[in-house]
A and B are shown apart, each in its own frame.
Chain A
């Protein structure tokens, strides 16, 4: 892969290591590390944290944001005020044109990616990559096409650091409201047959001998958002084999549209079968085990199965981060929790 090494704004994934998290955010850094382990990751690049910081400084957006935040005097109780503040701050970020140097760096990187993939206008995903992991706080944009749109979506990912849930989080934790610099990970979109998550320990029970895969047809967004009951696979960590699987209720799926993504109903024939073969599930488990061994703690992994590649090359890693896994709970406590959940049906 060609390196545009001069840029402070863009880094190619294979050049990154986990120590680079402050530079490009943890998501990009971890993917770089995974590539070094020989794991399969879609081609892509990282937009540095510096790019966002320079954007804020050069465009004066940073100082305007500071002013607005100082005037606002927000308190946690008032969700409405927080929402209003969020809208104003995002508007400030989204209305500023990118400085030419950043825009050029993004356009160059995108062009190189298209060249690498051997096609024009290759669709990509743009995801936030904070130096500190903030799962679920910031926006992700999928199936982004063309250099202009990539620039636009990078800016929107930045702006999402001012969404109301992130503001509330920073308020509650006494962090500065006016900035939370992040990087952006830009990956070639996988035309996913199926996708989902893998926990290298059972998040429900804390059992570290079991890996759990949750999977649905199409893109992984339907699994992450919890909109459907996905298929579940339980893998024995020591043997790597599927020990148990449970058919989900996969009534909907998310798939790429012409632009962005669309929610679809799933046909009956695809609801009634598992969306992964056991071999695919075990290959996903193998990625997870390699990551856990390397990083030294249970991992929370997003993966996809590429519809356009053959096994096992079709199983690719999209994201890995340390999993928040509770200590194994006593069975009685698990039953008490099940009772509580049962109240909501």
Chain B
């Protein structure tokens, strides 16, 4: 019998046939926990799986056609669609040509794509006369449905395709760089502090850092204008306070400009059920409040040092590479570093902006369906499928959508309590599958246990340095308000929604995330020690415990407890 997936036949799992065809399917904890809601699975996430195949076929990857995926108990499982030996031979020469532009000028490729995405997003709004969040209410049901369909089939699709062409190239270049590091320098890169230094940023400021700088600038403005007192613990009160004075309103105008440009981001990536900054202006006020005492922007102070250290380490490493291989290694190192920059920069243009547009449209449908009596609660829209929205949008109020919602909601709530199995099938085949498609590593980690270090947690030496301090375990971005300056952040992983935290903390420990993840890149940028991919950091460490983070060796010690 097939395992159902919220009526999404595309994702149904066949417990006999699927492991037989693929060997093993691996649970994607990174993106799939807590479980996604059905509307996002069928709409946004759908195009990511499409994107993996589009990326593999566009670059003509020799060993994979991209991912296949199933949902079991609401959790995503992924595997590679491997090519045959004959296919590999045919694809190899084509791949060598297709990958060249990424090797030579990774960022040049991305800049063109980024511009195109931004143009498509802004044109979708402009052509409909939409500027502010509230403007969407002006659309007729027909216009709203039209926007929804464009979103689903054009915007979302384009985003998924560009996203994965870039992601595949980034993963391959980064993977090769790690392999070459191992081969030429004889050290495991994830536990070599030089590796982290060489992949640290520098000359280019990615979008997340630019937004962090804007938030800091707005905080400075507020201080200059003598508005510090208006920033209360409750951001709603802050809004009221600011609106009450001339200066406050002037500041809010500047803030609004910022939100119209950079506020298209929801609190949680890969979901439509958390608010966007542009939707709820109070959201970023909390972050600005935390930044009020910061007289300098931390990355500015660190940047020169980070670049200097990177350049010195690069020179040292290149000298150790045999002469004939040096030039290629230098080029690969640069491409891998640009891929790292991309992985931070793309979140906004790919995951965040598109997610906020999706939230905009489906939230409005939720409101209209609830008002017209199709569902009980606007939030129930997250349990519908795109086709049900099409079915009910035009004869607004005549379709009862509750039966769809009820059973899927019940199933989703049950799935919330389920601990997903880490894999389905024969785990011994996992290595071969990941080898055939290293982009799967976006969703899988393997901590290296080194008994001789007698540590409490083993992970990747993601960003160098050494720090002791008080741990703060935070599970979601909503919990960031609890953070005190000088603490060490312990989290399942981080996303751009967490970035304000990096101005306050002294170190980072994460459950997930390889050399390539958000937390790691931010930590390098801010010069903070970071150990990533510890798997059980958030369960083993308790808030308030003193811990020692050794970012050079990728281990964490719990000092009391």
The stretch from B44-52, B94-102, B138-146 touching chain A is B94-102
| B330/A338 in contact, CB under 8 A | no
Task: List, in ascending order, chain B residues with CB within 8 A of A343's CB.
Answer: 62-63, 88, 435-436
Q: Tell which of A202, A246, A335 touches B331, judged by Cβ atoms closer than 8 Å.
A: A335
Distance to closest chain B CB from A323 (angstroms): 14
The stretch from A45-53, A95-103, A205-213, A266-274 touching chain B is A205-213
Q: Tell which of A204, A234, A340 touches B62, judged by Cβ atoms closer than 8 Å.
A: A340
The stretch from B209-217, B238-246, B320-328 touching chain A is B320-328
| B435/A340 in contact, CB under 8 A | no
Q: Kindly supply a per-residue 1/0 record for chain B positions 70-104, scoring 1 wherever the CB is within 8 Å of any chain A CB and 0 otherwise.
A: 00000000000000000010001001110110011
- Inter-chain CA distance A75–B99, complex, in Å, is 38
Looking across the interface, which residue of chain B has its beta carbon closest to that of A236?
B323
Looking across the interface, which residue of chain A has its beta carbon closest to that of B63?
A343
Q: Kindly supply a per-residue 1/0 record for chain B positions 501-513, scoring 1 wherever the CB is within 8 Å of any chain A CB and 0 otherwise.
A: 0000000000000
| A342/B179 in contact, CB under 8 A | yes
Task: List, in ascending order, chain A residues with CB within 8 A of B175's CB.
Answer: 342
| A342/B176 in contact, CB under 8 A | yes
Distance to closest chain A CB from B453 (angstroms): 24
Chain A interface category by residue count? 20 to 34
| B328/A205 in contact, CB under 8 A | yes
B113 at interface, CB cutoff 8 A: no
Chain B interface category by residue count? 20 to 34
| B176/A212 in contact, CB under 8 A | no
Q: Tell which of A207, A212, A335 touches B335, judged by Cβ atoms closer than 8 Å.
A: A335
- Inter-chain CA distance A302–B3, complex, in Å, is 62
Task: List, in ascending order, chain B residues with CB within 8 A of A234's CB.
Answer: 322-324
B443 at interface, CB cutoff 8 A: no
Which of A243, A342, A343 has the largest count of B CB atoms less than 10 A from its CB? A343
Q: Which 6 A-B pairs have the closest CB atoms?
A: A334-B328, A244-B322, A202-B324, A336-B96, A331-B331, A331-B327
Distance to closest chain A CB from B417 (angstroms): 40
| A345/B176 in contact, CB under 8 A | no
B120 at interface, CB cutoff 8 A: no
| A210/B324 in contact, CB under 8 A | yes
Task: List, in ascending order, chain B residues with CB within 8 A of A205's CB.
Answer: 324-325, 327-328
Distance to closest chain B CB from A97 (angstroms): 46
| A243/B96 in contact, CB under 8 A | no
Interface of B is mostly: helix
| B323/A210 in contact, CB under 8 A | yes
Task: List, in ascending order, chain A residues with CB within 8 A of B103's CB.
Answer: 332, 335-336
Extra 7 A-B pairs, beta carbons < 8 Å, given A246-B322, A343-B88: A205-B327, A207-B324, A236-B323, A243-B323, A331-B331, A338-B328, A339-B176
Task: List, in ascending order, chain A residues with CB within 8 A of B179's CB.
Answer: 342
Distance to closest chain A CB from B274 (angstroms): 38
B545 at interface, CB cutoff 8 A: no
- Inter-chain CA distance A339–B95, complex, in Å, is 9
Task: List, in ascending order, chain B residues with CB within 8 A of A212's CB.
Answer: 324
Indicate whether A333 sits within 8 Å of B100 (C-beta atoms), given known contacts A338-B176, A340-B62, A343-B436: yes
Task: List, in ascending order, chain A residues with CB within 8 A of B173's CB.
Answer: 335, 339
Which of B96, B179, B328 has the largest count of A CB atoms less than 10 A from its CB? B328
Subset of 10 A-B contacts with CB under 8 Å: A202-B324, A204-B325, A207-B324, A212-B324, A333-B96, A335-B103, A335-B176, A335-B328, A336-B99, A342-B175
A308 at interface, CB cutoff 8 A: no
Looking across the interface, which residue of chain B has its beta carbon closest to that of A340?
B92
B404 at interface, CB cutoff 8 A: no
A337 at interface, CB cutoff 8 A: yes
